[in-house]
A and B are shown apart, each in its own frame.
Chain A
Amino acid sequence: MEPLTPTLTVSTPPFAHCGKTVNKRMRAILLAMLPAAALAVYHFGMDAVRVMSLATATAVIAEFVSDMVMGRTSQVDDLHGFTVGLGFAFLLPASAPWWLVVFGSTTSIVLGKMMFGGLGGSPLCAPLVGWAVCSLSWANHMDIDAAMLTSELTYPLSQLKHFGPQAVAGFSLNDLLVGRQLGGLGAVQTGALFIGGIFLSMRKHIKVAVPVGMLAGVLVTAGIFHASNPQANAPAMFHLLTGSVIFGAFFLATDSSSSPMRKIPALLYGLLAGVLVVIIRVYGVYPDGVPYAILLANLTSPLLDRIKPKPFGRN
């Protein structure tokens, strides 16, 4: 029975709220990743299921254990840890061994998130931290080409790197869009990810300036390279639809704590990441430049955040 005099809840203004919460945002992001995950399973079968379940489970457990070690109330139910785990899985080849998945996912959470105090503290996009550590430590196991042993698909970026643009002229844009290519198991489902990214942008769950800047950066830079020397460089659309460009633009670069907050800095940050992707692909040793491009761009976001308008009433 309710007491005769109700006890009031005393809280702080504002007493109304738009209704969006971290949990709801993470659910929206997971929903946006779902089509890509489904396509990954379609293309890579149980290997994809294995990698994704292992990565997400490890991430959630790692976050919970970190919280226990730090003596904090765990906020693992906000689903961010789960999202990081899935994001990390999306970057792995389907052939990744179990220990690599477990180690990388734990590293993503511990080094990429919890070390900096949890959600919101990290200066780097968490899944990329795990990816970077693994790809430097076990380059062979992280090599997408290794996955060719278990799949009939090929890795277009590696072919571009080793055999030049003529070798990849056969790839139809349609094939690339539906994910008929090797790469990170979820990251190459470019069509599905694009739809997910548009969904997130329309629901205002991500800063649209980041993917706009990044895609523009990739298209313009790759376009310039291609125009200057079509024999040595692939067309811009090929760069856009291979590797993890779409995934990076909509899901990794938009990570809230490691990207700039205002619109113009976010646009510049996206542009920088996009330009770096193509530069790394053309001049670097890595076939897919996206993870390092975003990590480098992450480092500039505190600097870019200093671009801000004058406060109200200041001249």
Chain B
Amino acid sequence: MKLFESIVRQGPLTTLPEPETVRIPLSCHRPDIKCGQKMARGIHIGGGYYAPISGTVTEVHPTYICIKAEAVDEPSPRDMGALSGNELRTALNDMGAGLPEGPAQTLIINGVEPEPGVTAFAHMLDELSRIVQLGLSTAQSVFSPNRTVLAVEAGASQSLDGCEKAAIENGYPNGIDPLVAKAITGMENPDNVAVLSVGRLFELGMIMDTGLPCDKTVVTCGETDFVTTVGTPVDLILTTAHQTVRHGDTVVLGGLMRGEAAHSLQQGISKDTYGLFVVPKGQYPPVEDSPCIGCGECIPVCPARIDPATISGYAEFRMYDKCREHDIDACMECGMCGFFCIARRPLLQYIRLAKQHLAQADTCKLNDQGEG
């Protein structure tokens, strides 16, 4: 795979028809929902997930719920046009937007494709510009920035009205939020800066446009970008994109560097899924439970300038405090370390595991202090 090449857009944007059945992925939430229950579009399921279509709940699983399309009386959409400032932010967050806090002097719109091989953002800017533009004015109303900058890859033609444009050097991981913020402001983790991706603007625009939580996402699959309904089974998108999946292949939701492997072809996509890839069995050497050989390949490629080799070693032996001493907090989870690891260690997984343990430990500590 070529990591350091600028992405060329292929094919027009295609809208997939609404699927008969959707599976909405949930991460470890126990929704207060029963089988057979009628569900209207836009209803909150739990944990920031909303029903993307109206229908009957046919299956409730710890990781997803399944809704079969059926006509159901829908609640009237909320009129978002009259709101502004903090009211608007609260309303948007109520619909699952999850915006960062506070006003910001600089609002950065990250239009750099999130992963190699994804072209969804360029398509949104080109062909869904009305929605994205609506999202931009909404974000401006929420953050009231002095300066709004659209970050795009060097050589990209896309633009947004009311935005300065900044070119970001081609190649992953230059387009991830902290690095884009640094390229534009010159500072690392600057204060008073909010970074929203073009995908997020699309979500805001959809909420404003429909008065309902966003139930569409643009997914790159194969040669085409699809506008799809959240919860659409992976199977359906792959078939439409003429992608064949064979026994033993890996299907990746999101991107090849940071995404998540699908466990089933019936699995639905989430609103943050921007890409869908099939990695044929045997294309890359398999991940192994092998020791770090200290080659140092992961170190020069780490944009956070930390030492993934040492951190993963500590995580491997559950010495999570040591991970913090070695600045695991600075990690941006770009996956570059794992890409270059010649021992094929699951470096990003070790880092995510350690981060999760540390976060849990911190929560316990806070609770203890609260009780004491």
Contact = CB atoms under 8 A, between A and B. Distances in A.
Nearest to B293: A120
A124 to B, nearest CB: 12
A118 B309 CA distance: 16
Interface string A20-48: 11101100000000000000000000000
Contacts of A24: 342
Contact of B246 (A2, A12, A20, A257): A2
B259 A15 contact: yes
Interface stretch (A140-148, A185-193, A303-311): A303-311
A263 B329 CA distance: 23
A13 B350 CA distance: 11
B299 A314 contact: no
Contacts of B285: 17, 19, 21
A12 B263 contact: no
Interface in A279-315: 308-314
B309 A261 contact: yes
Nearest to B281: A9
A16 B188 contact: no
Interface in A111-131: 117-121
A10 B261 contact: yes
A297 to B, nearest CB: 15
Contacts of A20: 297, 340, 342
A10 B329 CA distance: 27
A17 B248 contact: no
A15 B247 contact: no
A13 B178 CA distance: 20
Nearest to B298: A261
Contact of B256 (A15, A118, A262, A263): A15
A15 B279 contact: yes
B5 interface: no
B248 A314 contact: no
A197 to B, nearest CB: 17
A172 interface: no
A13 B293 contact: no
A257 B336 CA distance: 21
B245 interface: yes
A170 interface: no
Contact of A119 (B249, B293, B336): B293
Contact of B263 (A10, A13, A18, A263): A10
Interface string B184-209: 00001100000000000000000000
A129 B300 CA distance: 29
Contact of A313 (B245, B297, B330): B330
B246 to A, nearest CB: 6
Interface in A245-265: 256-263
A11 B261 contact: yes
Contacts of A9: 248-250, 261, 281
Contacts, number: 160
B296 interface: yes
B8 interface: no
A118 B188 CA distance: 39
Contacts of A257: 293-294
B279 A12 contact: no
A75 interface: yes
B9 interface: no
Contacts of B256: 13-16
B265 A256 contact: no
B284 A17 contact: yes
A3 interface: yes
Contacts of B309: 261
B348 interface: yes
A313 B178 contact: yes
Interface residues of B, number: 63
Contact of A118 (B251, B291, B329): B291
Given A16-B1, A119-B291, A257-B294, A313 B299 contact: no
Contacts of B1: 16
B264 A8 contact: yes
B346 A12 contact: yes
A239 to B, nearest CB: 28
A207 B265 CA distance: 43
A6 interface: yes
A121 B291 contact: yes
Contact of B247 (A2, A21, A314): A2
B343 interface: yes
A18 to B, nearest CB: 5
Interface string A195-234: 0000000000001000000000000000000000000000
A7 interface: yes
A15 B344 contact: no
Contacts of B291: 117-121
A5 B251 CA distance: 13
A16 B303 contact: no
B348 A12 contact: yes
B284 A120 contact: no
Interface string B256-290: 11111111110000000000010101001111001
B327 interface: yes
Best-buried of A118, A256, A257 by chain B (most CB within 10 Å)? A256
Nearest to A265: B296
Nearest to B235: A5
B306 interface: yes
Contacts of B297: 20
Interface in B324-350: 327, 329-330, 332, 335-336, 338-344, 346, 348-349
7 contacts: A3-B247, A5-B265, A8-B248, A8-B264, A10-B261, A75-B290, A310-B305
10 cross-chain pairs, A with B, having the tightest CB-CB distances, nearest first: A261-B296, A311-B330, A120-B293, A313-B189, A14-B335, A12-B349, A311-B327, A17-B284, A312-B304, A257-B294
Interface of B: 1, 3, 116, 178, 188-189, 245-252, 256-265, 277, 279, 281, 284-287, 290-297, 299-300, 303-307, 309, 327, 329-330, 332, 335-336, 338-344, 346, 348-349
